[in-house]
Amino acid sequence: MVDFDGAGSLLKTLGASVVALSVDDKDTTQRLSDGLQLRTVKMLHSADMAEVSSLTGAYTEEARGILHATGFILAPGGKVAQACYSTGPIGRFTALDTMRIIRFVQQMRARQG
């Protein structure tokens, strides 16, 4: 999240915003956001782990109450342009990768008219 927060102004110039979803309650999520000093990443809280997993295919660890990182880059209109599923710290979207994907999607849309 810190990576995306640091790139927040660049992402905004591309017309993008970043939202993070947590299964943690409001207070725990707010403490995390405050501790990371997030300025541009919006954090949502109290997600239902089973429902999110069912809707998105996100991996879970029910015994630990963990909803693993699942990233989606949405094209205008809400269509998924790219998805990334992870069960650990490796294999997640980075802010740089995300900006490259957004630029690519924008270029493809411009070519299609």
Q: Which residues contact 30 (CB under 8 A, 6 or more apart)?
A: 43, 45
Q: Which residues pair with 20 in a beta bridge?
A: 43
State how far the alpha carbon of 68 is from the alpha carbons of 5, 36, 59, 60, 91, in Å: 19, 19, 5, 6, 11
Query: Which pLDDT value is given to residue 113?
Result: 73
Query: Which pLDDT value is given to residue 50?
Result: 95
Place of tokens 């094209």: 75
Which structural domain range is residue 10 located in?
Answer: 2-112
Read off the pLDDT of residues 70-79 as tens digits, 9 standing for 90 and up. Answer: 999 998 888 9
Query: Which pLDDT value is given to residue 93?
Result: 93
Query: Which pLDDT value is given to residue 12?
Result: 94
Q: What CATH number did the domain enclosing 30 receive?
A: 3.40.30.10
Query: Which pLDDT value is given to residue 100?
Result: 95
- As for how many domains the chain has, the answer is 1
Read off the pLDDT of residues 21-68 as tens digits, 9 standing for 90 and up. Answer: 999 999 999 999 999 999 999 999 999 999 999 999 999 998 998 999
Stated pTM of the model: 0.84
Query: Which pLDDT value is given to residue 48?
Result: 96
Query: Which pLDDT value is given to residue 88?
Result: 81
